[in-house]
Chains A and B, each alone.
Chain A
Amino acid sequence: MSELLARLRGGATLLADGAMGTLLIARGLPPGEPPESFNLEHPDLLAEIAHLYREAGADIVHTNTFGGSPLKLAMYGLEDQAAEINRRAVAAARQGAGAQAIVSGSVGPSGCTLQPYGDAEPDALYASFRAQIAALLDAGVDAVTIETMTDLNEASLAIRASRDLSGTLPILATMTFDETPRGFYTIMGTSVADAVSGLGAAGADAVGSNCGNGIAKMVAIAREMREIAEQPLIIQSNAGLPEIEGERTVYRETPDLMAAQAQELLELGVSIIGGCCGTTPDHIRALRRIIDTMAR
């Protein structure tokens, strides 16, 4: 068993990092450029971000490879460089976070819609995820985080691609839910219960939710998951919903607000807590404090 899984199953609470895109934009990523373009051009900035999160107390840092599958990169004409883009991201995260950190490869949606409602063939998505995850593994990731998924079928293809490549690689899988009058569902119609059982059945070692509409909603999702999930849970919340101020995007949830609410996540026994869009090293630092306080 990997060290990460042993720690999770032993009841440890681990802290993951916060937003990548938010920090890249602050470092000059132009609107509309794929964040992964930085992997080739500015790996030093990726190392800096990994270092900042590590310094803030994160146990797990993610690679800048959310859109690093060949299918997604093809939308920017970068698919030929997929392997290099993924390898560089792992190297930069490792360099910035140090040997002791857990480096997890971020794998986001392909950007394609599966048949029958869309046009994408399942085999094509599987092959694309497999190529990305093979490159991440090759470069030495400790785990993969399959995240921001809304289609359970697509998430399952990515999980299966990971498992087929390695029997021991820890697979963390999270989906993004909206609140509806009938409860939380992804926009593709996956309920929280279906996500937990479906992600688990596909082979995920830990399941949960990321992105979303702020920490309070995440607590409600975690509560629902806790009742049914046997696996360790992961929650990586946005700092609220993005709002537009002039021409800037702002997220309203402060580090203190997030940390206060995260207390409930800890009480629910969520194993991995981290941030998503709009969170910064300050948010992670606040979460570190609350985790350490609770552990005492």
Chain B
Amino acid sequence: MEILEKIAAQLQQGEEEEVAALTQRAIDAQIEPKQILDQGLIGGMNVVGELFRDHEIFLPEVLLAAKAMHAGLDRLKPLLEAADVPSRGKVILGTVQGDLHDIGKNLVGIMLRGAGFEVIDLGNDVSPERFVQAAKENDAAVIGMSALLTTTMPVMKQVITLLTEAGLGSRVRTIIGGAPVSGDFAQQIGADAYAYDGANAVEQIKALTV
């Protein structure tokens, strides 16, 4: 559908107001909210993710696209909620204790919400206790942890240890991400998955929650 392609294209350009207006037009044209989301907003954001991964664009473009995606999501949200699109599950998200870097984590949050997950974002500098507590209270399916600093990566392992001690090790799956983190490190600390970017995080979490 032409308008959905336009939404995706404007989102890639970071055109916040255009994306909001086009999303509204699509809503007014009675296009299914889920379709606007998947083909318009997420479709556009996936392209942005790929371009960033391939170094074709840089962080400013990604941040502007994320703002545009938010603008579109704001229009869609009431409709998605009213349509009662079933939630894919709850994901607890946070940057680990001692680490204040949240750009990557925020992008993952946007992509997950777009993909139909309910995201509980604990922000940055999140202690292991808070991760586990939030997972327990919300009956979450997944804990997603982010770190940019090598010095804070060990906190990820503490979260997993605490989760196991709380008896939630088998029920709550864990996924990690961030510049210094790797698949090897995930395996080393017993995390269930590692994601290298936002789009990959969505794929991985979908796989963890089937």
Contacts and interface: CB of A to CB of B under 8 A. Distances in A.
Contacts of B152: 31-32
Contact of B64 (A117, A150, A180, A188): A117
Contacts of B61: 117, 189
Contacts of B157: 247
**Is the interface on chain A under 10, 10 to 19, 20 to 34, or 35 or more residues?**
20 to 34
Interface string B61-94: 1011001000000000000000000000000000
Contact of B100 (A75, A150, A187): A75
Interface in B85-144: 97-100, 103, 125
Contacts of B180: 242, 244
B154 interface: yes
A247 B154 contact: yes
A32 B150 contact: no
A244 to B, nearest CB: 6
A28 interface: no
B58 A32 contact: no
A4 B125 CA distance: 40
Given A113-B103, A244-B185, A31 B154 contact: yes
A185 B55 CA distance: 9
B185 A188 contact: no
Given A111-B100, A188-B60, A189-B60, A32 B151 contact: yes
Nearest to B57: A189
A25 B149 CA distance: 13
A188 B55 contact: no
SS class, residues of chain B in contact with chain A = loop
Contacts of A30: 98
Contacts of A33: 98
Contacts of A81: none
B55 A244 contact: no
Contact of B59 (A32, A188, A244): A188
A198 to B, nearest CB: 15
B59 A31 contact: no
A127 B176 CA distance: 36
A25 B63 contact: no
A10 interface: no
A189 B98 contact: no
B36 interface: no
A32 B97 contact: yes
B153 interface: yes
Contacts of B154: 31, 247
Contacts of A181: 54-55
Given A31-B152, A31-B155, A244-B153, A117 B59 contact: yes
Given A117-B64, A181-B55, A189-B58, A249 B150 contact: yes
B63 A118 contact: yes
B161 to A, nearest CB: 12
A242 B64 CA distance: 30
Nearest to A183: B55
For the complex of A and B, list the 8 residue pairs with the smallest distance between their C-beta atoms, beginning with the closest.
A32-B98, A189-B58, A180-B55, A117-B63, A117-B60, A249-B150, A242-B150, A31-B151
Interface of B: 14, 54-55, 57-61, 63-64, 67, 97-100, 103, 125, 149-155, 157, 180, 185, 188
Given A32-B151, A118-B63, 5 more contacts: A31-B97, A31-B98, A31-B149, A32-B98, A247-B157
